[in-house]
Amino acid sequence: MDNKTKQIGLIGLGVMGKPMAKNIIKNGFQLTVFDIKTEPVLELVALGAQAAETPAALAKRCDIIITMLPNSPHVESVVCGPNGVLEGIRPGSVYIDMSSISPVVSKKLYGIMAEKGVEMLDAPVSGGEPKAIDGTMSIMVGGKQEVFESVKDILHAMGEAVTLVGEIGSGNTCKLANQIMVALHLSAVAEAMVFAEKAGVDPEKVYQAIRGGLAGSTVLDAKMDRILDRNFKPGGPIWMHTKDLLNVRDAALAIDAPIPLTTQVLEAFKACKCDGHVNDDHCGVIQYWEKLANVTVKRRK
């Protein structure tokens, strides 16, 4: 059966889930949605989606069920809790969790779904709200090759780079590796630019001088102007990146993986949360180093 004749369900219409749902509709798929908030559901219904009263009701009518939720406990509650996905899901369905959660939880849910005769993929995303809106996210997938191939067109409706990384849990392992590198790089940028500011050198000129060399990167180019303009409106907020680093910590503990740098950077992110910057963009972590040095990195007039 062609996927455009199937009913797709999406649970979680937040910052990322809502534009993802819009792109599913835009690409000609039939969609049913559920969220605990009424407003985004009505917005999607106005675009052609159907609404379900509970996750169980959504799962009962859909062939492919997607969740896009904040963290592991939310996913487990929506799947396994009262009126959850498990109460309605049918054998032969495909469940795709696109949340960024612990790979340990992904594997646990995979086992539960297998007992129901349901295939599962973990498929977290990268790119933040802007790429969710324009449908160019990177999607990292864990699961069976044949299941991946069967839903790849749906994933491509939401993302540009869609990659099967390995078995179940591999998608979230890849996402956490991504979050380690981004967090460490943002922290390196912060430390370097606070160092330059403290030395009395214009950070903008430092950026222009180094961006074409080995220290140049996508992270540096994407975030430096925001830092200089003090624009910390979130694409990926500090609270969300902190959550991902906590998942890294838990996953690393389970496999005895050393993460000394990540552990130190996690403390900087936690300090920013406690200091009132919880909803700032993750590049706002520079405020931790600025407070230590008593300087502000900004564009000079």
pLDDT one-digit tens code per residue, 215-261: 999 999 999 999 999 999 988 899 999 999 999 999 999 999 999 99
Q: Where in the chain is the domain with CATH 3.40.50.720?
A: 3-167
Mean pLDDT for 67-77 is: 96
Q: Roughly how many angstroms between the first and final C-alpha of the chain, as a whole number?
A: 61
**Radius of gyration for the alpha carbons in the chain, expressed in angstroms and rounded:** 20
pLDDT value for 40? 97
Helices 286-293 and 170-198, packing angle to 10 deg:
30
Please list the active-site residues: 175
d(CA 151, CA 24): 12
Q: What is the reported pTM?
A: 0.90
pLDDT reading at 298 higher than 80: yes
Q: Is residue 128 very low, low, confident or very high in pLDDT (cuts 50, 70, 90)?
A: confident
Q: What would be the CATH architecture of the domain defined by 3-167?
A: 3-Layer(aba) Sandwich (3.40)
3-state secondary structure of 96: strand
Going by DSSP bridges, is the β-strand pair 137-142/125-126 parallel, antiparallel, or unpaired?
antiparallel
Kindly tell me the burial class for residue 185, based on how many C-beta atoms sit within 10 Å of its own C-beta (0-12, 13-18, 19 or more): middle
Q: Where in the chain is the domain with CATH 1.10.1040.10?
A: 173-293
Choosing among 3.40.50.12660, 1.10.3720.10, 1.10.1040.10, 3.40.50.300, the CATH entry for 173-293 is 1.10.1040.10
pLDDT value for 1? 54
pLDDT value for 80? 97
pLDDT reading at 274 higher than 70: yes
Answer positive or negative: Cα dihedral of 99, 104, 107, 109: negative
Share of the chain above pLDDT 70, in %: 100
Nearest Cα to Cα of residue 211 among 226, 223, 197, 199: 223
As a whole number, the mean pLDDT across the chain is 96
Contact predicate 274/285, CB 8 Å = no
Q: List, for residues 159-184, the tens digit of each pLDDT value.
A: 999 999 999 999 999 999 999 999 99
Q: List, for residues 12-47, the tens digit of each pLDDT value.
A: 999 999 999 999 999 999 999 999 999 999 999 999
